């Protein structure tokens, strides 16, 4: 597993946040993650005049993961427009869980946590596989 440089991840999240399109909430968000092969990916929130259609930064990040070669997420951080750490919303925790490496770490307002701590007993691909096999 690659070594986690939280400062570099936060810098990437801040760079992504600068590209946010958030004229409706005025709440820019940038997310960044370290991938299993060592590369850093990022994404920003992209809002829409039809408010509910807006995309969280994590959606762009997951898209970037696939567009740049796939892999699993090892570490994740997310910042708001002031550069402060932001917790991914519930939907985005589910989104990230799908592509998380075992023991993936997230930087949170209350320290570094595991995916399992921020989304306990998650529903994921395993549940579908178990159902199909039963
Ligand atoms: O985890 C989160 C939570 C919120 N937002 C965005 C969605 C919306 O554009 C703005 C305000 O909710 O913040 C994200 O990008 N990620
Ligand atoms: Zn979200």
Q: Domain map of the chain by residue range?
A: 6-133
Q: Cβ atoms within 10 A of the Cβ of 41, count?
A: 24
CATH homologous superfamily of 6-133: Cytidine Deaminase, domain 2 (3.40.140.10)
How far apart are alpha carbons 53 and 69 in whole angstroms? Answer: 26
Minimum CA distance residue for ligand 1 atom 10 = 27
What ipTM did this prediction achieve? 0.99
Over residues 21-44, mean pLDDT: 98
pTM: 0.96
Mutate to test the pocket of ligand 1, among 56, 91, 118 (most ligand atoms within 8 A of CB): 56
How far apart are alpha carbons 17 and 91 in whole angstroms? Answer: 19
- Percent with pLDDT over 70 in the chain: 100
Q: Is the CB of 28 under 6 A from ligand 1?
A: no
Nearby residues of 52 by Cβ (< 8 Å), 6 or more positions away? none
Q: Is the CB of 17 under 6 A from ligand 1?
A: no
**Interval 68-122: pLDDT, tens:** 999 999 999 999 999 999 999 999 999 999 999 999 999 999 999 999 999 999 9
How far apart are alpha carbons 7 and 32 in whole angstroms? Answer: 11
The pair of structure tokens assigned to 120 is 């306990």
């Amino acid at each position: 597993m690659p070594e986690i440089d939280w400062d570099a991840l936060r810098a990437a999240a801040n760079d992504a946040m600068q590209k946010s399109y958030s004229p409706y909430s005025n709440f820019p968000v940038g997310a960044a993650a370290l991938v299993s092969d060592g590369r850093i990916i990022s994404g920003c929130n992209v809002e829409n005049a039809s408010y509910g259609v807006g995309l969280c930064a994590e959606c762009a990040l997951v898209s970037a993961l696939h567009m740049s070669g796939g892999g699993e997420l090892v570490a994740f951080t997310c910042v708001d427009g002031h550069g402060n750490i932001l917790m991914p919303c519930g939907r985005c925790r589910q989104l990230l869980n799908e592509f998380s490496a075992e023991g993936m770490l997230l930087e949170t307002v209350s320290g570094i946590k595991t995916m399992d701590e921020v989304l306990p007993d998650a529903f994921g691909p395993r549940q579908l596989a178990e159902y199909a096999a039963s």
